Amino acid sequence: MGAEIRLTKEITPGEWQALYGWGENIFGVEDLAYSWRPKEWHFVVEEEAGRPLAHVGVLKTKVTAGGREVTVGGVGGVVSNPEGRGRRLVHEAMGRAFDFMCGELGVEFGMLFCLERLVPFYARQGWQLIEDEVEFEQPSGKVVSAFRLMVRPCGEGREWPAGRIEIGGFPW
């Protein structure tokens, strides 16, 4: 890979700039003006010189799906800057983040919000598309998500509960 993955509780302003400050509207969703929940853990992929190239953020939370409370590891802030593209850095960081969520955090599922164009990318890594409606909080009140939702079970035989999903806070 030629890079190392570092787990940290915070990313510095310089790391943030290197990861997210290289373009305008890099996710293509800023026009939605959503408020996002901060991540609790950060998987930062960096070169030997310490220059960050990619990032996967993680948090632990509970959501309600089909009337059942489910403990999930929320994945967000997934990015690769232009220098890191085409090197499978995000793929490697996603794998480490998933292992961390299932092993260290003890969640039932990984969960992420996804743009339609990225569904195939995450599906190749074992994430499953959920078709049920998703609702989360925003400063103006509850809204139905404009994003697709994907989950990945921690362990064999675990099935995502069918039915409406309530996040109970800001998305991540």
pLDDT at 86 over 90: no
Please indicate, yes or no, if residue 99 is contained in any of the structural domains. Answer: yes
Contacts of 32 (CB under 8 A, 6+ apart): 146
- Residues 130-134, mean pLDDT to the nearest whole number: 97
Instruction: Tell which wins on pLDDT, 24 or 17.
Output: 17
pLDDT at 107 over 80: yes
Angle at 52 between CA 149 and CA 150, to 5 degrees: 10
Which pair of tokens denotes residue 140? Answer: 């103006």
Instruction: Quote the distance between the C-alpha of residue 9 and its chain's center.
Output: 15
Please indicate, yes or no, if residue 56 is contained in any of the structural domains. Answer: yes
Structural domain count, the chain = 1
Residue 1 confidence (pLDDT): 54
pLDDT at 157 over 70: yes
Average pLDDT taken over every residue of the chain: 94
* Alpha helices (H) along 37-106: 89-103
Domain that holds residue 120: 4-166
For 111, the enclosing helix (H) or strand (E) is strand 109-114
Please indicate, yes or no, if residue 171 is contained in any of the structural domains. Answer: no
Please indicate, yes or no, if residue 53 is contained in any of the structural domains. Answer: yes
Please indicate, yes or no, if residue 29 is contained in any of the structural domains. Answer: yes
Please indicate, yes or no, if residue 172 is contained in any of the structural domains. Answer: no
pLDDT digits (tens, 9 = 90+) for 32-81: 889 999 999 999 999 877 889 999 999 999 999 999 999 999 999 999 99
Please indicate, yes or no, if residue 80 is contained in any of the structural domains. Answer: yes
- Residues 129-145, mean pLDDT to the nearest whole number: 97
25: CATH: 3.40.630.30
pLDDT at 101 over 90: yes
pLDDT at 30 over 80: no
d(CA 11, CA 76): 14
Q: Do the Cβ atoms of 168 and 33 come closer than 8 Å?
A: no
pLDDT at 26 over 80: no
Give exposure, 89-127, as e/b (b: 16+ Cβ within 10 Å).
bbebbbbbbbebbbeebebbbbbbbbeeebeeebeeeeb
